[in-house]
Structure 1
Amino acid sequence: MHLSAQTALWFAPLVWPICIWVAWSDMATMRIPNKAVIALTLVFVGLGLILMPWDMFLWRLSQLAIVLGIGIFLNAAGMVGAGDAKFAAAAAPFIALGDLRLLLALFAANLLAAFVTHRLVRHSPLRRLAPGWESWQRGWDFPMGLSLGATLALYLGLGIFYGR
């Protein structure tokens, strides 16, 4: 992994609660709160300035802008929700560019697991634990915040144990 273990260790305790918040909120309301996206961005800016050399910090911020631009395009095309695009953009600076292939594989596996689990629970008695969740009612719509948040959380966890 190209992410340093020290950086992942500093980011994880602040990022993980936001990832849980995003997953929970998206399942419950099918919305990712802007406050969560702003909080994630502030965590990166606050700690990134301390943990990273200036050039790396600026490159990582540019990743936010690039992913946001792609997300806006995909949202306009009806392929992703606006909250998903904004969260992905806010998560982008946490990812070391050299880990992009790992991240995409992690996201693909996570998306499949989250989708299957969500659908199984939706049609099981476990659904009664959260009867008012909007995601149970939405047909084929899927709360991507569940998979996006879990992917970022898992990536940082892997970084703690396997980072440089």
Structure 2
Amino acid sequence: MLATTSAQAAWLLPLTIPICIWVAWSDMKFMLIKNQAVLALMAVFLVAGLIAFPLDAYLWRWSHFAVVIAAGFVANAAGLIGAGDAKFAAAMAPFIARQDSALLFMIFASVLLGAFATHRLFRLVPAVRRMTPDWTSWDKQGDFPMGLALAGTLLIYLALSLLAGG
């Protein structure tokens, strides 16, 4: 069973869906996760988290943000990930129960592989390219819009939490 309950996910999932779509689209089109999207996701947890979680759990989940933002800054400084990816991952962190970390990494690995393969395949399809001719991610050799995988990971985690009951 997941540590994030279905009742908690019921508060969080509907509010995160539009933000995750925005992040995935923006990263594919511009190779950029806008700070407004990161702040919007944080605002969702700031407000809905207060309703969804007991106060002690809510406050502890903010420590997840601190840990992930610190790790993200180090990874960004080392050239491993983009700054937007690091900030969005940190904004996602309070939504994830620490006890579910191993599951989250499995979800992320699966989503990353699927998103990468799908992105690379779709950029080879002329009809898709004609519909999205100005998407930066199609032509960035060696780069991948990680926001696509990060957003998908958060949505799948929350959907699984919702469906798991508890």
TM-score class, shorter-chain normalisation, is over 0.9
Cα deviation per residue 1:44-95 (whole Å; 9 max; x = unaligned)? 0101112211211111001001100000000000000000000000000000
Match of 2:132 among 115, 130, 133: 130
After the TM superposition, list the runs of 4 or more consecutive aligned residues in structure 1 that deviate by more than 6 angstroms: none
Distance 1:106 1:32 in 2: 21
Report whether the alignment pairs 1:161 with 2:156. Answer: no
Aligned-partner Cα distance in 2 for 1:60–1:127: 41
* Residues 84-118 of structure 1: per-residue CA shift (max 9 Å, x gap): 00000000000011111111000000000000000
CA distance in structure 2 between the aligned counterparts of 1:52 and 1:112, rounded to whole angstroms: 32
CA distance in 2, matches of 1:134, 1:127: 11
The corresponding residue for 1:79 is 80
**Letter of the structure 1 residue corresponding to residue 159 of structure 2:** G
| 2: CA distance, partners of 1:127 / 1:154 | 27
- List gaps (5 residues or longer) in structure 1: none
d(CA) in 2 for partners of 1:46, 1:163: 23
Distance in 1 separating the partners of 2:17 and 2:155: 6
One-letter identity of the residue aligned with 1:39: A
- Tell me the C-alpha RMSD between the 2 structures: 0.8
Q: Number of aligned pairs?
A: 164
Q: Match of 1:43?
A: 44
Percent identical among aligned pairs is 54
> Aligned partners of 1:163, 1:90: CA distance in 2, in Å?
24
Give the TM-score taking structure 1 as reference length.
Answer: 0.98
